[in-house]
Amino acid sequence: MKVNNSTALDVDTCFEELGEILGVWEKHEAFTFSETQGSHANEERLFTPRARAKAQHSVRVILAHHSALQELGAALTLLDALASKIESSHPSLLLTMEELMELASLAAIVRLVLKCSAVPLSQGPLISVVEEHLELGEALQRDLVTARELCIVAIMAGHVAAPSLPAPGQWLSSVLGRLEVLAAPRPEQAGEFEVAMRSATAATDLLARCVGMSPTFPPRALALGGCVLGLVAVGAVAAEEARPRTVSPSLWESLLTLWPGGLAKQDSLKPTLGLDLELVAKAACCSSDDLQVWAFMSAQGLHDAFNSN
């Protein structure tokens, strides 16, 4: 009997294409985050966690009015990239940090994200109507929001949305697609694998909202750190395997215990799906050491964020 290998070939092709996408995205990430570190990197941060939390809330409110909360990750990625660039160039010729925090600038960020997304704007309220409802009437009359859009595009050299500015959720989706091909879960493990993927997604979303991105913790690092934490949370990856060698077991356990839902309770789940960290690293096109470092940064970042509230 002749075996049809077309499905296997399609899977292999898709796997390689996802790997190429990750490579291209990494170059774009270097442009938008890594290269922004300048001589002012050690100065006091202007974009404080409190300021970011306030901006994040405003962006969320605007997106909710458009029924487009699924674009929150993309909007926060653009917000963090802008803050990183503004902080690294003093004085900023186009936009100050104070101006970035204004509602007009946040509305401009949402405009750009929505224009570049797959959200059917024709089915919802007009952007101008939403902005009027948010008491931006005076800013609209002065064309301030439009002017801020142009400033943002100039600061980012046009890199305002995917694929040139991939959000953590897009990184995660591609990595999980590669991981599914590599792990090849058995039919009876399909449900468990789905739970693990949802856990990784939830962890990444939480990090994007509560911790945020920076040159030292860009979207890729955030997504992969969240991926590992999410997999550890459901027992798909052993907690000890995800611990960096330079981090003591007691510190690592304390960080995981503080995770909402309790990562330290993973042993009670008794999963049948076991994913080796090296396998996850292969799917993410990085090393297992990188994953350990990013998982620790993620856990530490959430710990600090929760303790500061």
Q: Provide the percentage of residues in the chain whose pLDDT is more than 90.
A: 56
30-39, 118-127, 223-232, 285-294: least confident range: 30-39
In a domain, 18, yes or no: no
**CA–CA dist 278, 255 (Å, integer):** 22
105-114, 246-255, 258-267, 282-291: least confident range: 258-267
In a domain, 6, yes or no: no
In a domain, 103, yes or no: yes
In a domain, 260, yes or no: yes
Total domains in the chain come to: 2
**CA–CA dist 228, 19 (Å, integer):** 19
Model-level pTM? 0.87
In a domain, 257, yes or no: yes
Do 224 and 175 meet the contact criterion of CB atoms below 8 Å apart? yes
Last residue of one domain, picked from the residues 155, 176, 200: 155
In a domain, 148, yes or no: yes
pLDDT in tens, 210-256: 999 999 999 999 999 999 999 999 999 999 999 999 999 999 999 98
Question: Which range of residues forms the domain containing residue 255?
Answer: 168-308
In a domain, 5, yes or no: no
| Cα distances (angstroms) measured from residue 73 to each of 46, 100, 160, 228 | 22, 18, 13, 18
Instruction: Determine the average pLDDT of the residues in 9-35.
Output: 78
For the ranges 123-127, 262-266, 293-297, the one whose mean pLDDT is highest = 293-297
* Alpha helices by DSSP H, the chain: 6-32, 49-65, 72-87, 97-100, 103-115, 127-133, 137-141, 144-155, 168-183, 190-210, 219-233, 249-257, 277-284, 288-308
The answer to whether residues 79 and 190 belong to one domain is: no
Say which CATH number the domain at 249 has.
1.10.472
pLDDT in tens, 145-175: 999 999 999 999 999 988 889 999 999 999 9
In a domain, 2, yes or no: no
Confidence grade of residue 10 (pLDDT, cut at 50, 70, 90)? low
